Each structure stands twice: as structure tokens, then as C-alpha cells.
Amino acid sequence: MEKLVLYGIDASAPVRSVLLTLNALELPLEYKVVNLMAKEQLRPEFLTMNPLHTVPTLDDDGFYVYDSHAINAYLVAKYGKDDSLYPKDLQQRAIVDQRLHYDSSVVGRTLRAITFPLFRLNETEIPRARIDALEDVYATLETFLTINKYIAGKQLTIADFHIVAILSIIEIFLPVDAGKYPKLSAWMQRIAQLPYYADGNGKRLEQCVAFFKSKKFTIV
């Protein structure tokens, strides 16, 4: 197979979810960092690949896929040795899809309500209600994990990669309390033990964590 090319930045949770999937599948990869501040994503050659000018963007021998959820589903369907990470069984897949939509429609928006004002508007105060919304996310994930060992069932799936990637950022603002959320805390520790976790997510967090902590934000 041709080497896959992934365009992204380490600070992006969606990008890191794709890196986790690529590592889990042991696929050869060329990783190209896109300088968003320099607007490299708006260059004609990038817009040809992805008119939404977002990361991650995957180039599979001239076939372009964007949106991390679509990318990960595609990678498992095409290159997985089996379907465990994205099951073919329709009922199991429906649960994985539900978790993926929860990630994009609820978890992502909840975090963006905090990070966008800090990053784009240079605000330093976070309303308490936005932190409380993170508590609601934790409570929902705890419920998922009370039912099953993993986010979308009894086995590891791409849903776990998406959730752990974004929770790694959410914890900057609200660390997971193991007393309140024992299942979620144990799950995060379990995912962190995966042999490819450090390369796909763990070691790529430093710059992002440092940036938000440098904002010296307060919760009001």
C-alpha cells in the first residue's frame, strides 16, 4: 500500500484520535503539520483536498477524507485486520456511531464554549456554567462505562479514541475526580496503557496544555 498522508496539528483532539487509529492499525504514515496561524489550510492545494479547510485531512493515494469520525471509520473499514474497532454488526455499529455523534455534537461543543473565548477572544474568565456543562459530560460518560467496559461496548473501538483525545484537553479545565467518576477514571488509565497511546495522544499534548495554562484563566 502507498503511505498514507495525514495533515494536522498535535493540539487538535480530532487529529490525535486519527493518530491513535492509525497506530492501532499499524499503518505507515507521513504526518504533515499544517500551520493554521499562517493560514496554510487556505492555500489552493489544500482547498483542493478539503474545501472545508479543516484538520485532520487524510490523503489515501489521491483519495481525500476529512472529519476525524469519517476518517477513522474509513481506515478501519479499509485497512483493519478485523472489524473490532468499528463493528460491521449493525446494532454494535449504531452504538459506536451514537458515541461518535455525542463526541461531535455535545462534547466538542461543550469544550469549544470554553476554548474559543480563551484562544480567539483572549478572555481569561470562564463562566461557572460552562464548567458545570463539563460535569454533565463526565456524568454521561460514567453512565456509558457503568454499562460496559469501553465507551461503546465490551471492546475497544474508535469511539474510545475520540473521547480520550478530547478528554485530555477537558482535564485542563476540570480534572476527572476518581471519587465521583470511578469508572471514567479507570477507563482513562486503561486507555493510557495501550502501547500506542503515548505516540498517538500522550506526548502530543504538551504544547496545547502549556498554551491554555499560560492563559491564567479563572472560573467565575
Active site residues: 12
Cell of 134: 463539563
CA 207 to chain centre: 16
Q: How many residues does the chain have?
A: 220
Burial of 48 (0-12, 13-18, 19+ CB in 10 A): exposed
Cell of 4: 498514507
Residue 160 to residue 188: CA distance in whole angstroms:
9
CB contact at 8 A, 117 and 173: no
Cell of 204: 502530543
Residue 216 to residue 121: CA distance in whole angstroms:
14
